[in-house]
Amino acid sequence: MEVTMDPLFLAWSYFRRRKLQQCSDICTKILQDNPYDQDSSLLISEAAWSLKTRALTEMVYIDEIEVDQEGIAEMMLDESSIAQVARPGTSLRLPGTCHGGGPTPAVRPMTQSGRPITGFVRPSTQSGRPGTMEQAIKTPRTASTARPVTASSGRFIRLGTASMLTNPEGPFINLSRLNLAKYSQKPNLSRTLFEYIFHHENDVKNALDLAAQATEHAQFKDWWWKVQLGKCYYRLGLYREAEKQFRSALNHQEMVDTYLYLAKVYQRMDQPITALSLFKQGLDHFPGEVTLLTGIARIHEEMNNISSATEYYKDVLKQDNTHVEAIACIGSNHFYTDQPEIALRFYRRLLQMGVYNCQLYNNLGLCCFYAQQYDMTLSSFERALALVANDEEQADVWYNIGHVAVGIGDLTLAYQCFKLTLAFNNDHAEAYNNLAVLELRKGHIEQSKAFLQTAASLAPHMYEPHFNLSILSEKLGDLQSSYSAAQKSEDAFPEHVDTQQLLKQLRQHFAVL
């Protein structure tokens, strides 16, 4: 005779093995077999119900600390920052003010918000902060630059509807018919229910209701509910309330997570210095905590203080020598400070750790080329091309191959590579600029000028197209447009010596006239 396993136990086992769909299916069956109204089966059905909420939550769970996206509305209509014109070195919005020995844009490319490109992207690093509304709307939507969503809740709503699509019978729990007060009295059900509402349904308002009632039931002594309240307030954009809840939670119980959430609130309110001191306070309680150290390093990096960011990333690596973000950031920093050999060692370490994707092979190829290990260069790029996931990545890899071609002097290959870049990503401003330079070498002046104008309009934050346009116009004798282009180049990169000289020459010309 076949012995069948207890279904609830089986479901629990599936859950632990992260076979979430099977777990949810079995729970559904248990719930159908044990109606709610019988006392005998109440415990089992409650357990199955709670397990199913957990399984469904796990399916769409994203680490809330990492998720941070600013939409256009939050960026442009920002009321939460205290000083609109902040002093230098105290704001994340004015990245150019604090130069901590980082490389200039002459060696390290910039993102749209004027920060050097980083070695690692997280959901929050994607949204650069454009200066004007027009720029915000025009921003190309690629992963490496900026991706304004109309409002921060946009992506969450889409994820929420996605989770409902998967079960055609409708949602598992009908939130509008739920008696939140009843559930908030049951501590063993309320927590899983809260996480379900918050992560799976993305219904922050109901989640907030539940958390408020539950924290009241716990007589305002439960730090967990306070943290959840803070999370809800943060999503709703009520940063001061969120801060209050997190502070109060910290008084009850010191937790690393709470420090991270609180620091996130301060960063959103554009108070990086407060966030830094909070992280240091957290490090007193949890010495050597990797997430706190990473937080400090990220803030330094965002404030364009690359050298101290690298110091903190090195501290991170002392605690955890497999930290991908720290290795990638230190590696890219070495590459852009003219030490590709050392960068190569860091990226090779990532490869040894099992990171296997297009970006890593692309970086390895570039490092190999600039470290003069030519045998590995092209095979790395071939692998990168084999691993691309979308057209933007493909474009970036071809762009970098184009650089290798320029380096070995094969200008025909370079031309083809940049053309391919544009075929995959029509908004690739860098490729337009480089094509313009190649076109000018061939003597195609009009074509070159058109490419430069396209590049300048696509990426006004880069100085190269403006500067090139200025030189070209000056050669053609069009001094007025040369002057205006040079001024734009100066805005993008004030320390650029060649731009300064060009401007000086032009001013002399105008003075003579």
Partner 1 sequence: MPEVKSIFREVLPKQGQLSMEDVPTMVLCKPKLLPLKSVTLEKLEKMQMEAQEAVKQQELAMKEQLQ
**Contacting residues toward partner 1, per CB under 8 A:** 60, 62-63, 66-67, 106-109, 117-123, 125-126, 143-144, 155, 158-159, 161-162, 165-166, 324-325, 328, 332, 335-336, 350, 355, 357-360, 362-363, 366, 370, 393, 396-397, 399-400, 403, 406, 429-431, 433-434, 436-437, 440, 462, 464, 467-468, 471-472, 498, 501-502
Q: Smallest distance from the beta carbon of 396 to partner 1, in angstroms?
A: 6
**CB neighbour list of residue 138: distance below 8 Å, 6 or more residues apart:** none
On the 0-12 / 13-18 / 19+ scale of CB atoms within 10 A, 18 is exposed
Helix, coil or strand: residue 445? helix
Q: Which is nearer to partner 1, 26 or 366 (CB)?
A: 366
Q: Which is nearer to partner 1, 55 or 210 (CB)?
A: 55
Query: With contact defined as beta carbons under 8 Å apart, do 143 and 156 qualify?
Result: no
Of 493, 478, 480, the closest CA to residue 446 belongs to 478
Q: Smallest distance from the beta carbon of 13 to partner 1, in angstroms?
A: 24
- CB atoms under 10 Å from CB of 6, counted, come to 10
Q: Which is nearer to partner 1, 226 or 235 (CB)?
A: 235
Give the span between the Cα atoms of 262 and 495, in whole angstroms. Answer: 37
**CB neighbour list of residue 215: distance below 8 Å, 6 or more residues apart:** 222, 225, 226, 229
Q: Smallest distance from the beta carbon of 173 to partner 1, in angstroms?
A: 20
Helix, coil or strand: residue 141? strand
Q: Which is nearer to partner 1, 324 or 378 (CB)?
A: 324
Give the span between the Cα atoms of 249 and 251, in whole angstroms. Answer: 5
Q: Smallest distance from the beta carbon of 326 to partner 1, in angstroms?
A: 11
Q: Smallest distance from the beta carbon of 12 to partner 1, in angstroms?
A: 24
Of 185, 152, 143, the closest CA to residue 391 belongs to 143
Q: Which is nearer to partner 1, 206 or 421 (CB)?
A: 421
Structure tokens at 191: 């927590």
Give the span between the Cα atoms of 357 and 384, in whole angstroms. Answer: 7
Q: Which is nearer to partner 1, 282 or 402 (CB)?
A: 402
Q: Smallest distance from the beta carbon of 306 to partner 1, in angstroms?
A: 14
Q: Smallest distance from the beta carbon of 119 to partner 1, in angstroms?
A: 6
Residue 110 φ then ψ, to 5°: -110, 150
HEC string for 388-432: CCCHHHHHHHHHHHHHHHHHHCCHHHHHHHHHHHHHHCCCCHHHH
Give the span between the Cα atoms of 262 and 141, in whole angstroms. Answer: 30
Residue type present at position 296 = I
Q: Which is nearer to partner 1, 183 or 361 (CB)?
A: 361
Q: Which is nearer to partner 1, 214 or 435 (CB)?
A: 435
Q: Smallest distance from the beta carbon of 118 to partner 1, in angstroms?
A: 6
Give the span between the Cα atoms of 279 and 291, in whole angstroms. Answer: 10
Q: Which alpha helices (H) appear in 269-339, and where do they start and end?
A: 272-285, 290-302, 306-319, 324-336
On the 0-12 / 13-18 / 19+ scale of CB atoms within 10 A, 86 is middle
Q: Which is nearer to partner 1, 18 or 240 (CB)?
A: 18
Q: Which is nearer to partner 1, 33 or 338 (CB)?
A: 338
**CB neighbour list of residue 279: distance below 8 Å, 6 or more residues apart:** 259, 263, 292, 293, 295, 296, 299
Give the span between the Cα atoms of 350 and 327, in whole angstroms. Answer: 7
Q: Smallest distance from the beta carbon of 21 to partner 1, in angstroms?
A: 13
Q: Smallest distance from the beta carbon of 355 to partner 1, in angstroms?
A: 7
Helix, coil or strand: residue 110? strand
Q: Which is nearer to partner 1, 149 or 303 (CB)?
A: 149
Q: Smallest distance from the beta carbon of 399 to partner 1, in angstroms?
A: 6
What is the maximal distance between C-alpha atoms in the chain?
106
Q: Smallest distance from the beta carbon of 506 to partner 1, in angstroms?
A: 12
Q: Which is nearer to partner 1, 215 or 332 (CB)?
A: 332
